Structures are given as structure tokens and as C-alpha cells.
Amino acid sequence: MTQLDIANLLGVTQQAVGKWERGLSAPDYDALVKLSNLYHVSTDYLLGQKSKEFSNKLEYARALLAELEKEEQQEPVIHAGYKIPVLGCVAAGQPIFADDNVVGYEYIESKYQNDGYKYYALRIKGESMTPTIMDGDTVIVRQQYTCDSGQIAIVLVDCEDATAKEVRIQDDGITLIGHNVLVYSPHFYSRQEVDDGKIKVIGLVVETRRKFI
């Protein structure tokens, strides 16, 4: 992964990742935990503490294998949280939670269940938001009809299927921005087009999930 890929996954700047790599600064606790989860290693390993417990690399490797075998013998993880539908698409004129749209389910933290919003997940198609959101990723969406400038939202354009884009709000309209300019160049919509419903925000992206198998 590039520095930008890691920065987007951790919610930090690319400059911060560069400083970590050059030893000019260190990640804070939250970033350290996210890095350990990303690379499937312990925080002690990232901090260089784990290897100091062993006299040589072979002993360390044997200890890691023992930990992996122990993890494989543990009971399977039981999902906990709030179950929401995964939609294959969202189109204008259709009920957003129509059975024909549901292609699966995801679990999100229970705290979302009582915050007054409805949530759904959306399977992303296309590469217009690469590398922030990849083709095949699942985004967790909070159903709402406004967003702040700079946020990634689910929008309906010209009454077609919904799309995920960064929304930039200006006095005279809004611009939809894809993070892969080779696939999607910025599209501007005037205030009149917004008022006429040519473009409509229908949800805010709050989380991205990626499966490798």
C-alpha cells in the first residue's frame, strides 16, 4: 500500500505517515491500534518490544507460530451489534429498503441503533473513488438528506442509481468529486439544479469495509 492508502485507512494525512516512516514522529495510540489491526500484528511488535523478549529470530518465529495455533483453537467470534441490510443498488422511485435491493447484511456497533437515524450498507461498483473506496467495497451509510462540504455522501444524480462522491458545497451550487480523476472528473451542479432535484443527497458515508476473500 502507498502512504496515501494507509493515511486514508487510518484517517490521518499522508504527511503524517511519511514522518512515521522517516522516524520524525510516532503514531498516537489510536493510530497504533489501527496499524496493528491493519497488519495483523501486536502493538508491541510495532513498537519493537516483542522481539526483545527472545534471544534470536528462530525463537521469536516459534513463539509467533504458537500464538497463531492458539488463536486457531479459540471459539469462533459471534457477531455483536446492530444488523443492517446491504443494498446492491439504490435508485430513484424505489423504496430504499425494497427486498429486491437487499444482497446481504452487515453488523455495526450497537450505539448506532438508538441515535435517531436509519442505517444501511451499499455495495460500491466502479473505481471513481479509488483509493479511498474501492470497487467491491461496502460502505456503511447513515440515511440523511444533507451533508457538510468535504464529506463523502451517497447522492442521486438525474434520477439514476445512487453514487458515492465527495461533496463540495459552494454558494452557487455543489460539486461532486471522485478521488480517481482518471475515471471521474469533478461535476458541478448549479443551485437551480439542486433546487430542481437534479442532484439529491440521500445518505452520509460513515464507514468503509473491504473484504479480501
Q: Percent helix, strand, coil in the chain (nearest 5)? A: 30, 25, 40
CB 159 within 8 A of CB 93: yes
42, 128, 149, 190: which is the annotated catalytic residue? 128
Helix axes 29-39, 3-10, angle to 10 degrees: 120
DSSP state of 77: P
165, 185, 190, 211: which is the annotated catalytic residue? 165
SS3 category, 112: helix
Q: Is 52 annotated in the active site? A: no
φ, ψ (nearest 5 deg) of residue 204: -115, 130
- 152 closest CA partner among 140, 144, 164, 169: 164
Q: Is 128 annotated in the active site? A: yes
Q: How far apart are CA 197 and CA 146, in angstroms?
A: 13
Q: Which helix (H) or strand (E) holds 176?
A: strand 173-177
Please state the length of the chain. 213
As annotated, the active-site residues are: 128, 165
